[in-house]
Structure 1
Amino acid sequence: MQGPDHPDTLTTRHNLAYWTGQAGHPAAARDQYAALLPARERTLGPDHPDTLINRHNLAYWTGEAGNPEAARELYAALLPHRERVLGPEHPDTLTVRHELARWTGELGDPAAARDLYAALVPIRERVQGPEHPDTLTARANLAYWTGRAGDPAGARDLYAALVPVRERVLGPDHPASRATRQQLARWTTAADRR
């Protein structure tokens, strides 16, 4: 018998929460991560990588369960821990910054989301490379939130620059390449109407 706080038990609980979310039950996943977090903090400490992953997943599933405000708050609280433990340019820290920008936009502040992505993109490019999937996703999100912030011409130009890169890296038939072309068409139309 390993007990409720044994590392294997905690890993099993983590996996159950993960697959619950993947099965389409975000609120249940959120609740399972919320219940697991105190055990992770108690047994491993607040800055252990597994605890930080638990906090990230709690924030993610909180947002997916329909609470963007709480997701944004959880990511904002997690960011200083990630920066302190892993450094400000570690890929996991950059992912938290990405999610913070996403939920800021989802919460109804597209200009702030745009600004957060604008600050993130050059770091992604420098740390992970200009053609890394995470960099390309950040560029797409910068374009999207630029448009949502009221600058359709800016969004159009950002998508126009992104299309050839996505097509070269992923191929023209990749879903992300197709989505980027669709967004380019959308923001081109919006810019032409102005």
Structure 2
Amino acid sequence: MTIPDFDPHATALRLLRSEAPARIMGAPQDWPRWEVLLPHVLAATDQIGETGHLSLPGLGREQAVQECSWLLDRAAAFLRVHGRPGEARPLAERALAIDEAAYGLDHPDVGAALSNLAHILQDLGEMADARRLVERALAITEAAYGPGHPTVGAVLSNLATILTDLGELADARSMTERALAIDEAAYGPDHPNVGTDLNNLAQILQNLGELADARRLAERALAIDEAAYGLDHPDVGTDLNNLALILRDLGELADARRLVERALAITEAAYGPDHPTVGTRLNNLAVILRDLGDPATRGAAVQRPKDQPGRSDWAPRAANEEST
């Protein structure tokens, strides 16, 4: 009788992978589970080197390597969504290194890891490096799936948000319009991925001064997300915030105030009072109140109001998970 190969690290990775929710962004119902699992994921993946070395041979090792990189990637996404990009970065870098060692430089899973690491670098303000990674991810994804695949649309959308931050609005607009066309063809006009594209395109049009069209797209994005998620979802909070800033630019300050106050309440309930996004909402509310002449804001130091791009949570990893 042959005794099967056994590795406690591989077993721990497999069990954690079976318990960990795949979707992070836009899935607040799963965050408490991740909060519980996170320290165990960090402990289990800490036993694995950047080459994914395990004592198991063959298929057992390959599966464990996939589970390790997946867990690192998802843990990084959880930390990023909760305003901890500095902690997320080394996890995402390890996930990328493991995938490159396991699959080579041009595998779709490497493209996914590149795109997700780029999210984190964007949050850290490292735009040039974020752009380089997403451009590489786009080339890999287009070669693997073809130019009209929804995964390509997701990477295009993510690259467009970086270009928007860099002020390259014409290129950002072109990429977002392409992502929107891909997603509408793949999912239909009322899918949340379409809402993300509409939200991002509305931000670009706002920056270009095309406020009427920006408002129309932002209102459509809000309607899609409210229908898909309900009235109190974090993505709805993002939509409300961004629509409020368009209304501010249009001079509709009372409505802008109402929307950003609702966005603030949703965001505080989802993330807690100390999350960076709550700070953004508070700042935006302060700007609008100042514009309304609220005496409480007189002399207060406020920053330029900030909209918030929608981002695809992750590019689907070909060997592990389908798009969510």
TM-score bracket relative to the smaller structure: 0.7 to 0.9
> 1:167 corresponds to which letter in structure 2?
A
1:167 aligns to 2:265 (yes or no): yes
Counterpart among 292, 303, 307 of residue 188 in structure 1: 292
> 2:265 corresponds to which letter in structure 1?
E
- Detail structure 1 runs of 4+ shifted over 6 Å in the superposition: none
The Cα RMSD (Å) is 2.9
- The match for 1:14 is 115
Greater helix content: 1
The question of whether the paired residues in 1 share the 8 Å contact of 2:118 and 2:129 is answered with: yes
Matches within 5 A, 1:1-194: 2-149=103-250, 151=251, 154-160=252-258, 162-163=260-261, 166-167=264-265, 170=268, 174-175=278-279, 178-179=282-283, 181-189=285-293
Sequence identity, in percent? 27
The question of whether the paired residues in 1 share the 8 Å contact of 2:154 and 2:179 is answered with: no
Q: Distance in 2 between matches of 1:177 and 1:8?
A: 35
> Could you say which structure has the larger radius of gyration?
2
Residue 5 (structure 1) shift: 2.4
The question of whether the paired residues in 2 share the 8 Å contact of 1:121 and 1:138 is answered with: yes
> 1:188 corresponds to which letter in structure 2?
L
TM-score (norm 2): 0.50
SS of match in other structure, 1:38: helix
Deviation readout 1:116-140 (Å, 9 max, x if unpaired): 2233323322222222222222222
Deviation readout 1:22-57 (Å, 9 max, x if unpaired): 442212322332233222111122344432222111
Residue 184 (structure 1) shift: 4.0
TM-score (norm 1): 0.78
Runs (5+) with no aligned partner, structure 2: 1-101, 295-324
Count of residues in Structure 1 that have an aligned counterpart in Structure 2: 187
From the superposition, tell whether residues 8 and 133 of structure 1 become closer, same or farther in structure 2 (CA, over 3 Å).
closer
Runs (5+) with no aligned partner, structure 1: none
Q: Distance in 2 between matches of 1:49 and 1:117?
A: 21
